[in-house]
């Protein structure tokens, strides 16, 4: 464990170092023992989630007045790196709750909405999710088909959402308690107006369609289809004004993408540790595996790529502001390079371990499977490439900054 006096980019303050130490202890005693079983059974570990709540990390970026920890983006990155070094699936469920709804609500909700929901979300009494993707719509947000029509003191919500992490919390299709739902509420000059609604699980017309099973990875988080059939949502549950969703998305996408990149750091670090240990201890032809050039290439390149990406992620987190947009090129950038780096490092670890890498006991096969989702969820690699290129064409000075 790093001495608090030896602070660095990844532990810039004693508080960050203490948080990392706390998370590493929690991961060792609580997360790691259940990771393999949760993956194999494709189950979200609700009791573990409640234990995470006791650490005070469910509202890691939420102001203390609303029950949160009041910490910064670097703290959020630390939590996601440490959890993902053991169980990326559980960490994804944590991210969907703490970043996609809790941080989103803390930044974009009204004071009344924050007071009503954030304390329960931060304590773990409530579990939340965010619903944007649809069966036929992913990256093309403006193409979504879910609609909300105002009638008196309610909006009538109709549509289906797909691939929703935490959409259900068990095998009985029990929905999570609270969902941020994006829906069309009209048009302005031919452009769709997307609005954000806070939907409680008890609202009439809301149900869980199906739990999505047999995923390649991230099996420790539950994914579901959500159905809204004339769902009645009080007007007080509109977040902001009609048409504000794009602003909400932009404010929240940066921390989402940086924490997804942090998940990749955890996957890469654990894979590298396993590969290094195995190749140091295992022998072939009378010498340790790390004596051979092919293995040296795998280990050395993995180490250098991991360290480079780690520096990039923590540097972006250091300057990221939670309440407004400003770092999109780099929040896209860290996710673009770090997610693929993690997949490649996990792949090399499997290759270096040979047959042992191909079975669950040695963990790297699960990390490899989990890593792929990070190249898709929260923005595809192709979306990041488009965004970065567009931003650089508009502001070439970003290259020098």
pLDDT band with cut points at 50, 70 and 90 for residue 394: very high
Whether residues 135 and 193 share a domain: the answer is yes
CATH number for the domain including 43?
1.10.540.10
Residue 213: CATH number of its domain: 2.40.110.10
284 has pLDDT over 90: yes
State whether 261 and 191 are in the same domain. no
Look at residue 49 in the predicted model and tell me its pLDDT.
97
Q: For the whole model, what pTM was predicted?
A: 0.96
**Residue 126 confidence (pLDDT):** 98
Q: 214 falls in which pLDDT band (50, 70, 90)?
A: very high
| pLDDT band at residue 225 using 50, 70 and 90 as cut-offs | very high
What pLDDT score was predicted for residue 2?
47
- Say if 41 falls within a structural domain: yes
Residue range 218-245: average pLDDT? 97
Query: Are 192 and 92 in a shared domain?
Result: no
**229 and 256 together in one domain:** no
Statement to judge: residues 118 and 136 lie in one domain: no
11-31 confidence digits (pLDDT tens): 999 999 999 999 999 999 999
284 and 380 belong to one structural domain:
yes
Total domain count for the chain? 3
* Residues known to be catalytic: 256
Residue 108: which pLDDT band, with cuts at 50, 70 and 90? very high
Least confident segment among 120-124, 150-154, 169-173? 169-173
User: Does residue 186 sit in helix, strand or coil?
Assistant: strand
The boundaries of the domain holding residue 137 are 128-245
Average pLDDT for the chain: 95
Q: Are residues 31 and 70 in the same domain?
A: yes
| Same-domain pairing of 327 and 215 | no
Residue 70, both tokens: 């009041």
Give the pLDDT of residue 220: 96
Q: By C-alpha distance, which of 149, 157, 151, 156 is closest to 181?
A: 157
Of 211, 245, 279, the residue at which a domain comes to its end is 245
Q: What is the pLDDT of residue 1?
A: 46
Give the pLDDT of residue 380.
95
Q: Please tell me the number of Cα atoms within 13 Å of 299 on its side-chain side.
A: 18
**Token duo for residue 67:** 């029950």
> Among residues of the chain, what percentage have pLDDT more than 90?
90
Long-range contacts for 174-178 (Cβ within 8 Å, ≥24 apart)? 174/208, 175/201, 175/206, 175/207, 175/208, 175/224, 175/226, 176/127, 176/128, 176/129, 176/201, 177/120, 177/126, 177/127, 177/128, 177/201, 178/101, 178/117, 178/121, 178/126, 178/127, 178/128, 178/129
What number is the average pLDDT over the span 336-354? 98
């Amino acid at each position: 464990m790093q001495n608090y006096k030896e602070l660095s980019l990844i532990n810039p303050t004693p508080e960050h170092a203490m948080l990392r130490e706390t998370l590493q202890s929690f991961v060792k005693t609580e997360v790691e023992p259940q990771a393999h079983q949760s993956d194999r059974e494709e189950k979200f570990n609700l009791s573990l989630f409640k234990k995470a709540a006791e650490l005070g990390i469910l509202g890691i970026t939420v102001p203390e007045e609303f029950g949160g920890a009041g910490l910064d983006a670097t703290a959020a990155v630390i939590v996601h790196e440490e959890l993902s070094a053991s169980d990326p699936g559980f960490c994804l469920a944590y991210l969907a709750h703490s970043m996609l709804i809790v941080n989103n609500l803390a930044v974009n909700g009204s004071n009344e909405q924050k007071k009503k929901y954030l304390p329960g979300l931060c304590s773990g009494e409530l579990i939340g999710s965010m619903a944007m993707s649809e069966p036929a719509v992913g990256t093309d947000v403006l193409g979504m088909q879910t609609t909300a029509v105002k009638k008196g003191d309610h909006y009538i919500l109709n549509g289906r959402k797909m691939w929703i992490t935490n959409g259900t919390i068990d095998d009985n299709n029990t929905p999570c308690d609270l969902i941020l739902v994006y829906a069309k509420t009209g048009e302005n000059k031919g452009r769709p107006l997307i609005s954000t609604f806070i939907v409680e699980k008890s609202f009439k017309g809301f149900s869980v369609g199906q739990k999505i099973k047999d995923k390649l990875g991230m099996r420790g988080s539950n994914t579901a289809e959500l159905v809204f059939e004339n769902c009645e949502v009080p007007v007080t549950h509109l977040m902001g004004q009609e048409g504000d969703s794009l602003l909400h998305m932009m404010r929240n996408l940066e921390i989402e993408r940086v924490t997804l990149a942090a998940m990749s750091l955890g996957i890469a670090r654990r894979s590298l540790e396993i590969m290094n240990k195995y190749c140091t201890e295992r022998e072939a032809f009378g010498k340790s595996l790390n004596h051979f050039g092919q293995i040296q290439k795998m280990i050395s390149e993995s180490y250098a790529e991991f360290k480079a990406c780690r520096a990039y992620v923590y540097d972006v987190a250091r300057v990221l502001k939670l309440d407004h947009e400003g770092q999109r090129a780099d929040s896209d950038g860290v996710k673009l390079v770090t997610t693929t780096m993690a997949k490649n490092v996990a792949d090399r670890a499997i290759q270096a371990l040979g047959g042992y890498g191909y079975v669950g006991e040695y963990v790297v096969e699960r990390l490899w499977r989990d890593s792929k989702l990070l190249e898709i969820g929260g923005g595809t690699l192709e979306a990041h490439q488009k965004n970065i290129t567009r931003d650089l064409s508009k502001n070439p000075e970003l290259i020098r900054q």
